[in-house]
Each structure stands twice: as C-alpha cells, then as structure tokens.
Structure 1
Amino acid sequence: MKSKDIISQEVGAPIPNYTAHAVSVTLPTWEANVGYEEGQEWVVNKMNSGYPRFFIHSWIQELSNLLELSYGKDGERCMIFPTYKIAKSCRKFIKEKTLLSNCNVRILQLSTPSPTQGEDESIRIETNFSVVYFPSSEYPLAKQYWQHAGQGISSRMGEYILSELKPKLLELSEHNSKDLQQKQKAKNKTSRRSSSLRSSSSTATAVTEKEYSTFIEERFGRNLDLRFNKEARIILQKRISTKINEADDNQKNKLSKDDVYLFPSGMASIFNAHQAILLSFPERAAKQKSVCFGFPYVDTLNILKKWGQGVHFYGFGDDDSLLELERKLETGELQILTLVCECPSNPLLKTPDLIKIWELSRFYNFTVVVDETVGNFLNIHVLPYCDILVSSLTKVFSGDSNVMAGSLVLNPSSEHYQILKQTLDEELYEPESFWAEDAIYLERNSRDFESRSSRINENAMAAVKLFQETPLIKNIYYPFLSPTRKHYDALKTPKGGYGGLISIVFANENDARCFFNEVKLSKGPSLGTNFTLCSPYVILAYFQELDEVEKWGIDRNLIRISIGLEDRSELIDTFQKALKVVKEQHDALEE
C-alpha cells in the first residue's frame, strides 16, 4: 500500500481520498484540530466529511431537509433511523431529557418501493425507515441520541433512500410550500451548523465524491449484488464466531453464529448490550448503578451516565482500583448491576485484570461487558471472562475506513446467557438496523482480516522500538510496555500480538505539536485502518474537559497513532523524518 494513495493534507477532506462513505476526515495540523473543537470557520466551513456519529453525512442532511419540508410542521426538525423501534427509543430519550413542559415528538414511518416484476433486484430493495420529528429547540438532544446510541441510518442507506424518493419528496415539498426557496432559505439559517454538529457539507461535493467512489469501487470489484445481503450477514456472523472459537480449543460451549449480533456501529453494540442488561434485570436496574472500569472512549461513559441509574467511575482501571472495588463489594457499600471495560483501554492501552473481574462478577452477581475493539479477538481471547463481548467492526475488522458496523457476542457459558439472549432476540435485536449494502461491504473488507491484523501487529512493534529510542518522548502507551502487560498476556491468543494502537506523549508540548504537524501520514479520527492514522486524541475527544481528564493520567498533548499496512521501512522512515524535525526545532529553542 502506497501512502500517497491515501494521504490528504486538505482540511475537511475524507480519509481515504475520494471515498464517499469515508469514516474519517482530514485534520492535518494541531491548529486545525483545535479550530474544529472551537468551531472556527476556517475549519468547520471546509468539513466535507467526518466520523459518522458526530458528523451527519451530506446525503443524510439533504434527505432530512426534504423530509422536513415534505412532512414537517413549522418549527420542527427531524432525524432518520432504520427501524421504528429505534425511533421510539430516540423519542423516549428526548421526552425524558427535555426541559419543555410540552414537547411533541412524533414518528413517521416510510419505505422505498420494492422491486416490481422485471426490475433488477440486484440494485433495488424495499427499505423501511422511521423519521423522528421534534421541536427545533430539541435538536441537541436528538443529536446526543444519534451520537451516543450510534443507531442512525448510515450514509449508504441515506444515499439509497434519497435516490429512490427524492423526486417524490421534491414534489411534496413544492406542494406544501408556495415559496419553496424562501422556506428553504429560512430553514438553512438555523439548520445544519449547530455547535454540536459543526458541519457545512455540500451536496455538490458529495456528488463529486460519489463519482470517484463509484470508479474506485467498480475498479476493485466492490459493487456487489444487494440480493446477497442476507448471505453477507450470515458469513460475517460465522467469520466472527469461527475466529473466536479457534482461540480456545478447550471452550466447553462453542460459540454459534446465532450468538453473534450485528449492529450499525460499535457504539450501537455497546448501547444494546447495556439495554439488554437493563431489560433483563429490571428490579436491580431500577436500584443499582453500573461500573465503568478504566478510562474509556467518551461515549461508553455517556451511555452509562444517561441510561439506567448512573455509573461508578474507576478511571485508573488498575489493580489498586480493582482492590478498592472488591472491598466495597465485600462490605456491601456497593451493589452493582454491571461492569463495563475496554481491553485494552483507549487511549492508555491498559489491560484490566479480567480474570479477577470475572471471579468477582460470579460471586457478587453482576454482569460483565468487555469492549475488545482495540485488542481484537484475533489477538486476545476475552469471551470466557465476560457475559457480553462488544466490538467496533468499523476498525481493524473492516480496515478500509468506508463502512460503520459493530458486533455483540453472547458468552454461551455465562449463567446469564439464556435471559440475555431472550431479551436480545425478543425485545432488542433487529437485523435490518444494519443496512444491507453496509453488510455487503463489510463482508468484502473483512476477508483478509487475519493477515492484516498480523502485519499491523508487526509494524506496531517496530514503531514502538523507534519511539523507545527517542529521548524527546516521555511516555509510550502500548500493551507490550504497560505495567498491565501480565493481564494482556493472560488473554493473548497463541498467534496474537499486541495490536496496532500506540499513544505517545512528548516531554514538551511544542515538540508534540511539531511532530504531529510534520509527520506525513493521514491525520484524523478513528483507528484500525489499513493505513496509519494519527490524531491528537485528547484534544479531539475531550477538548472541553482537558483539566478533568488529566486527573486520570490522560495528558492533553497525547498523540494517538493507529498503525497500518504500509511497508515497514517506509513507515519507520516517515516517523524518523518527523522526529528529526522535532529534534532540530527543540535544539534551536534550547539555544
């Protein structure tokens, strides 16, 4: 893979280049990341792409505008979800959190046409979706649900619906407004550039990207038949269950594909895991809080805070924290519903003592949910030590950075297996929430998951060795170097490595900025991509809470690097060139 085929240094451009459904976006300098967080126009006005839970894709924006004009009432905004059940969940969240004394939230169910006789079923599929309408003042609440729960329609689903319904929606909107242009102008003043969204993507740009995307996808044989979407889902479930089973020949109860659930994003998997526990144990859920063990990705903590009774936060996630938790459980000071953790944690790459946590959970009767996105189930085998295993398939499982997805896996050996499975199957899980075309793309992308994961592990170890030799770097966070390595090694599979995610902290803030600005790699959010991706992670994820997160050992100048598949010597050379510039600048300032 040639870096020049991926890298963009243009603010707001998709990563990879010319990818209409890219899940990352270029923020090429430290200043651009700060500007994005501060809402500075020189950044936000160029944002033509973004991580989909934070940035609503231009096709979804256009579809939302048309649905507001066609079916909306005065002062209403809308959001689009793939099923009625998810739309009801969003409506419930808005009505519970609103400060309005009378907040009218309504749901409209719509569908695209099914193929008629003689039409090509390979490119047309009947698609049902639901639209939640709410007062425009409550848009920030709706956006919170979109971001935290991760269950909004995907950009591919939005593109498909738009292609099928746009003429009808235009006709309806013209009928409902004597002066469509005037109404649209008025809506645009208050619509798409809120502080929480910070986007100004244009349809024209999206069309241009679509042309490039179509060319690239056809060139690589990735325009696949929509009729195969059910088969693609089954293959994905079997691929995941088979790889997990291979990690443990002694596993008593082998994992079935039916224990693997697919969702439209990794956060949707976490959200549904938490919902499954709340619904499965209602009496305890009404009284007991959850535990978040270790410093997690931001929206995991948001889910635990905003649904259920709240959360006890053990942000250090180390052995001392576990001893403190055990003491409180033993004395009865705490009775908890569930414990949620990452393995390893993001961004400090700490591995919790899952074996001990599992023992405590069986004794004190709480469930365990583990997010193994960073480790991935080829490197570590954690299913025996949790009730529910969740992962973002958007990351290394896909690799191509062009599709969002998540998985939820039930442990068939868990004493809570039957009740959790019943809850998921009867009350929560809807296969159609994961859009057909996304399933097809994910199946295609993940065929070489195993070989890619292995190469990423090897590249990452080489990068870590280089950083260890760099005196200007004061901290390197990586499972192999972590004080918690013994816990990681206890979970590591025979062929597993230590993953592709590395976090580094320079001793000097100016050195961190210089390195990030100089390194000639893709720069944007996300991880697990086939190409190396850098981000000033703490600035981007916690800009409003920098002082707070530092209490948990999270340095504001931390740079997170997700290692990719580049030629190893080329990758190391890229890092060395940036480090050389850093040293030259550092020495000049010291003189």
Structure 2
Amino acid sequence: MTARYCGSSLYIGLYPRMGPFGPVKELMGRIATDYLGKDQACLLFITQNSAQACRDFALSDNRKEIKCEHGEVQVRAFDGHVRIWATCFPAVKMRAVMPYWQDPGTGISSRIAQDVLAEYSSLKEVESRMVDLLNTRPTEHRPAKVKSGDVFLYQTGMAAIYRLHGYLQNSSLQPGSTVLFGFAFHSSPNVYREYSSNFKWLGRGDEQQLKELEEYCSTEAGSGRPVQSVWIEFPTNPNLKCVELKRLRALADKFGFLLVVDDTISSFCNVDLLGIADVLVTSLTKSFSGYADVMGGSVVLNPNAKQYELLKALCDKNFVNEYYSKDAEVMERNSRDYLQRSKTLNDNALALARYLYEVASDASSPITKIGYPGVGPDEAIYLAFMRPASSEFQPGFGCLLNIEFESVETTIAFYDDLKVHDGPHLGAPLTLALPYVKVIHRDDVAWVEECGLNERMIRISVGLEETKDLLDAFKEALEAANAAKSRGPLEKAINPMGP
C-alpha cells in the first residue's frame, strides 16, 4: 500500500484484498442495483464454497456488534463471462461481512470484474437458492452435497419429466420398462405411456401393488427386460397418499432400477427425499414460485446415488438450456419469500385438514374422508422424511388436501357454496378448489375408482389467506352440504358438474 499527498488530501492506493474498489466495486454496485433491490449489498466470489463460507462468517455468533440474521443473507449465482457467486446482505451490515473479504482473500480479482463488466448485458442470474435449500437440514448425513451442476432447469415441471424420461429412454443405461407407482398428475402417465418402450402403471400404490411391483421386476429381469425406472409422486396428486418410499428404495437396490421422485406436492423445503431418490423432479411453478405468474421445472441429481456419475454424464450430454432468462429472473424473485409463504401454506392447510378430519369423524357428517399427509394413516410415512425444524423455518405437510363426500348431491352443494376460487393450480396465494376427478378424469372415472379416487372428491389448494377466514368459508359451505344431505336425493338439483 502506498500513500502520497496531493494538495491537502491524502490518497491511498488500496491493496485489492483490503476492500472492493475500481471495477470490483462497480460490478458489486451494478448487481446490487439490478438484482438485489433497495438497500442491499453483496461480495463476489468465483466459487460457491467461498460465497457460502462468507455467508457462514456473516451469521457466526462471533459477529457480536453487527450480526446478520439467517433470513438476511443469501448466496446467489450469476453467469456472464464466467460464473460468479454473490453473498448478498443488507448494506447496513457491510461492516459485519467485510472482514471475510479482507482476511481470507478469496474475493474475485479486478480482471474478473473487468471481463464481466465488459459483457455485462449478457449477465444473468442462475438458480442457486434451490441448491442451498436442498442441502439445508437433511434428515440424515450424506457425504456429498448437491452442487449447482446437479440442478437442471426447464420451462415447466412436465418439461423436466419429459426431458429426463427421454434421456433415459435413449441412453445406454439399463434399458427396460418405465413404471409409475401410485397415482399421479394426469399429464405424467401420458408422457410415460407415449414415450416409453414399455409402461406399467400401478395406480393404487398400496401393499398389494408393492408385491406386484417386486414380482414384475423379477419377471422382467428374468426375461432380459429389467425395469429401467420407477417414478412416484410424494404425496400423490390428487389423493395425497404417501407411498412406502423405503420399500421402493430397497427394491431399487435389489433390481437396479432408478427411483425418480416428484416432490412438487410436499415441496423440498418441507421434506428431504435425496436420501431415497436417485433423482428429484419438481414443478417450480407451484409452491416454489408461489405467485402463478411464471412456470419452471427442475431435475436434481442425487450426488450420493450409485448411478450418479452415469446420470450426470447423461444429463450433461443431453441438456439444452431452453429456460428463458426473464422467466428465470421472475422465478428467482418469487422464490425469495418461499420459506415465509410455505410456512403460511403449511399452517393454513393443517388447520383446515384438522378441522375437516374432526368433522369427518362424525358418522352423520356429509364428509367421509380427508386426504392430507398431516392427518390420517400416512402421517408416519411423511414424517420420516420431514426436514428438522430450525429457528428459520418449521417444515410442514404442504398446501394440498382433498375432501371426499358421501354423495354427489352433498359434493355439489358444498362446492357451489364454497367461497374460494376455482382452478387446477396449486401453491398460489389464493385458495383454489376443483372437483378433480370429475374435471380431469371424467372419461375414465371407473378406472380411477379402482385407484381410490371418485367423483365425490374436491381437491383444495390452500392459499395465504387468514386462517380464520378460510375456516369460516369452509364451515359455511359445510352447512350447505349438511342441508343437501338432510333433503335427500329426491330433492336434488340438476347436477352442474354434468351427467
């Protein structure tokens, strides 16, 4: 460091490790202005490990005078001339974070900043928050953590399923059948059926079908056609069943198939499924985005899976980025309050499910069954994968539930009087209701009944409203259902849901 007098002022030529200046300071300022929002700042690094270490430093109890809180510090990634990682925090907390730049000396160099600034118009944020969340509070120790290179983003959740399934079908990995175990969102089996060399759907996903799956795997293997992959939703949509994941993992290890789990309904802030799944697929359109104004999907590889190296090479070879940068920007912005929203969704859904579960326990009630992993027989299965709670977030059971009625008449009366919005989406700010089977499976009602669903089911995606307001709306609709039940079938109105 050198000093010289110029007139009456002292100018100091700072050593770059002592503090961001010149192009580094300019780049940090532009990223803060363009991506982080008002009164935010960042320090920039060339690796995720350094940025994460900076975050840990900022949150350490050793920062006694000015300490950052967990919700204030984030690690985010940007692609431009090179990939850079930003540790982001409130500008007023700079003094708490700056020592990490000064002492370890792992910040970006002036030349890196110059190169990124020269092509700044091409800079775009890439998803890193998912990586942080997936590695947060796992249910068990795992040697390898998810890295950004293990996450592949797609235009929609279905695009993620379609692309991954296509990679597998056209690969040199163990060829053979695609199996869907348990019920699923209706577009998923359409993809497996249309684009598989052989497809089998075990729609109930119960104990009997676990045995059937084992027999099928054994038969196929004996015929030289080993099962390639088994796909499941956890919980299933719309009946909210929790399939026996540990039993499926044991079968996957025995027969060598890939276990692919769709965690859209539970949401990965609530559950940790990377101890079970070889691959996670998620519709980010739902709870992760939360505002119903952008679509997206992801494939996440489990770095501890037996076939990870083969899967990583397969995805790296085939993946083409088709996710528009502006969609990614909206998705990232929406996801900033993912944890806060998820807590409200969890709390509202559990309160509503508990109320309806109690109502259904009365033999005179028009409600016969509630589907929700937080109440009923599947709770223990779900809890085995729930992330541990922390001061930052209390995991829950997700936003989706279903209500089954004792007759079509009471179903209609309840649905017509329920003062929430209609729609097939989930994870949105507003509560949505849908007679799912009648709308989505009206042409194959008989078959879905074999899987435990029927046209007397109303699917509910709980929103962010006040809990009391939600409960009041459902209590009012229940009064209409009770009235319809007391009238009996002879006085029923014309079925507005069709014949």
For residue 346 of structure 1, report the CA deviation from its aligned partner: 0.5
TM-score, structure 1 normalization: 0.58
1:475 aligns with 2:369: yes
Equivalent AA in structure 2 for residue 280 of structure 1: S
Matched residues in 1 for 2:146 and 2:331: separation? 21
Matched residues in 2 for 1:543 and 1:255: separation? 41
Residue 364 of structure 1 corresponds to which residue in structure 2?
Answer: 255
Matched residues in 2 for 1:553 and 1:589: separation? 25
1:379 aligns with 2:263: no
For residue 304 of structure 1, report the CA deviation from its aligned partner: 1.1
Residue 508 of structure 1 corresponds to which residue in structure 2?
Answer: 407
Residue 450 of structure 2 corresponds to which residue in structure 1?
Answer: 551
Matched residues in 2 for 1:321 and 1:259: separation? 32
Matched residues in 2 for 1:229 and 1:536: separation? 45
Aligned-partner SS, 2:305: coil
Matched residues in 2 for 1:291 and 1:310: separation? 9
1:320 aligns with 2:208: yes
Matched residues in 2 for 1:363 and 1:469: separation? 41
**CA contact 2:357–2:375 (8 Å) conserved in 1:** no
Matched residues in 1 for 2:232 and 2:387: separation? 19
**CA contact 1:315–1:552 (8 Å) conserved in 2:** yes
Q: How does 1:112-511 map to 2 (within 5 A)?
A: 231-232=124-125, 234=126, 236=127, 238-248=128-138, 250-281=141-172, 284-285=174-175, 288-330=176-218, 332=221, 335-427=226-318, 429-431=319-321, 433-470=322-359, 471-495=365-389, 496-511=395-410
Higher-Rg structure is: 2
Unaligned runs of 5+ in 1: 1-121, 123-226
Instruction: Name the one with the larger helix percent.
Output: 1
Runs of 4+ aligned structure 1 residues displaced above 4 Å come to 227-230, 330-334
Aligned residue among 560, 570, 583 for 2:459? 560
Aligned residue among 471, 479, 483 for 1:572? 471
Unaligned runs of 5+ in 2: 1-33, 35-119, 360-364, 390-394, 492-499
Matched residues in 1 for 2:453 and 2:399: separation? 19
What whole-Å deviation, never above 9, does each CA across 1:6-58 have from its counterpart, x for those lacking one?
A: xxxxxxxxxxxxxxxxxxxxxxxxxxxxxxxxxxxxxxxxxxxxxxxxxxxxx
Structure with the bigger RCO (C-alpha within 8 Å, sep 6+) is 1
Aligned-partner SS, 2:374: coil
| CA pair 271-529 structure 1, distance change in 2 beyond 3 A | same
What is the root-mean-square deviation in Å for CA atoms of aligned residues? 1.9
TM-score, structure 2 normalization: 0.69
| CA pair 228-349 structure 1, distance change in 2 beyond 3 A | farther
What whole-Å deviation, never above 9, does each CA across 1:360-402 have from its counterpart, x for those lacking one?
A: 2122111111100001111111112111100000001011011
Matched residues in 2 for 1:229 and 1:558: separation? 49
Of stretches 390-399 and 435-444 in structure 1, the one that deviates more from structure 2 is 435-444
| CA pair 228-589 structure 1, distance change in 2 beyond 3 A | farther
What whole-Å deviation, never above 9, does each CA across 1:222-256 have from its counterpart, x for those lacking one?
A: xxxxx788543x2x2x1111111013162210110
**CA contact 2:280–2:300 (8 Å) conserved in 1:** yes
For residue 316 of structure 1, report the CA deviation from its aligned partner: 0.8
Equivalent AA in structure 2 for residue 256 of structure 1: K
Residue 417 of structure 2 corresponds to which residue in structure 1?
Answer: 518
Matched residues in 2 for 1:520 and 1:547: separation? 30
| CA pair 575-337 structure 1, distance change in 2 beyond 3 A | same
What whole-Å deviation, never above 9, does each CA across 1:448-481 have from its counterpart, x for those lacking one?
A: 1011111111111111122123321011111123
Residue 113 of structure 2 corresponds to which residue in structure 1?
Answer: none
* Total equivalences in the alignment: 358
Matched residues in 1 for 2:122 and 2:385: separation? 34
| CA pair 478-272 structure 1, distance change in 2 beyond 3 A | same
For residue 412 of structure 1, report the CA deviation from its aligned partner: 0.6
Aligned-partner SS, 1:376: coil
**CA contact 1:344–1:479 (8 Å) conserved in 2:** yes
